[in-house]
Amino acid sequence: MFRIIGERINTSRKQVQTAVIERNTGYIRMDVQQQQDAGAGFIDVNAGAGIGHEMEDMKWLIETIQPIARVPLCLDSPDPAVLEMAYGMVDQPPMINSISLEKERFDVMIRFLKGKACRIIALCMDDSGMPVSSDDIVRRAEKLVFELEAIGMKKDDIYIDPLVQPISTDTCKGNMALGAVREIKTLFPQVHITGGLSNISYGLPQRKIINQTFITLMMGAGMDSAILDPLDERIMATIKTADMLLAHDDYCMAFLKGVRSGLITS
């Protein structure tokens, strides 16, 4: 089944930033509960917008969320010190967001990850910048898998992010991502594919229908996870329907449950 990483607990969102500043436990817990109830398999937690106090904000968020978390947390920070602190607070092996091939980040993250029980989001980014072709994405993914396996990580714990780019600047960007996902899943069937998909529609009107269509295509290519808002009922209905059509939903049970709940309508 497709795995949702709920993206809403991020201090770049005004409501979350206000709740963190005010230490509004009720708001944060309500949002997390809603994401879990909607089907999130992980809850992303990002306090990075709090410049100068990310550590204390992340600590408060973990303390607030942990008692009601039914699913693992996705610890999201560019600062290994913040990740180390948060890792020591969680009850379940978390997901870490993220590592890339950019040397400055790669070196510190490899040291952080070694020996830890966690899942990792691995971005296909290196010091030359964004990938420019499917082959470029695949080469970077291969290197990331090789390096992460070398420190003891299992393929099933690796989530490759192919870095979706806007088709408004180049109409080949959608096919570039789709081709890369197919090849990565052929090379590494146990590795997962994730990422934020909304970049595909950046700069275009009617973005929601573009995102819904693209996630269906990406699932067909082998994508099995995404970072998104699980409270977006249309995208969740699209995912459940595509999961069923791809034979990932035994006896169509999740689809039928979605219909009964009113999530999936014609």
DSSP 8-state class, residue 126: B
Give residues with Cβ within 8 angstroms of 20, minimum separation 6.
11, 28, 47, 50, 57, 60, 61
Average pLDDT in the chain: 97
Q: What is the CA radius of gyration of the chain?
A: 18
Domains in the chain, ordered, with CATH?
1-73 (no CATH), 93-231 (3.20.20.20), 232-266 (no CATH)
Give the span between the Cα atoms of 144 and 150, in whole angstroms: 10
Residue 252 Cα distances to 102, 107, 119, 136, angstroms: 42, 44, 28, 37
- Let me know how long the chain is: 266
pLDDT at residue 51, rounded to an integer: 85
Give the span between the Cα atoms of 137 and 132, in whole angstroms: 8
Q: pLDDT of 134-189, one tens digit each?
A: 999 999 999 999 999 999 999 999 999 999 999 999 999 999 999 999 999 999 99
pLDDT at residue 266, rounded to an integer: 82
pLDDT at residue 50, rounded to an integer: 80
Whole-prediction pTM value?
Answer: 0.97
How far is the first Cα of the chain from the last one, in angstroms, to the nearest whole number? 22
pLDDT at residue 96, rounded to an integer: 98
Q: How large is the average pLDDT for residues 96-114?
A: 97
Q: Quick one: what percent of the chain has pLDDT higher than 70? A: 100
Q: Which residue has the tokens 């180390």?
A: 84
Give the span between the Cα atoms of 227 and 8, in whole angstroms: 10
- Number of neighbours of residue 251 by Cβ within 10 angstroms: 8
Q: 91 phi and psi, to 5 degrees?
A: -90, -25
CB 177 within 8 A of CB 137: yes
Instruction: Look up residue 60 and give its amino acid.
Output: W
Give the span between the Cα atoms of 218 and 206, in whole angstroms: 19
Instruction: Annotate 150-185 with b (16+ C-beta within 10 A) or e (fewer).
Output: eeebeeebbbbbbbbbbbeeeeebbebbbbbbbbbb
Torsion of CA 144, 154, 69, 87, to 10 degrees: -70
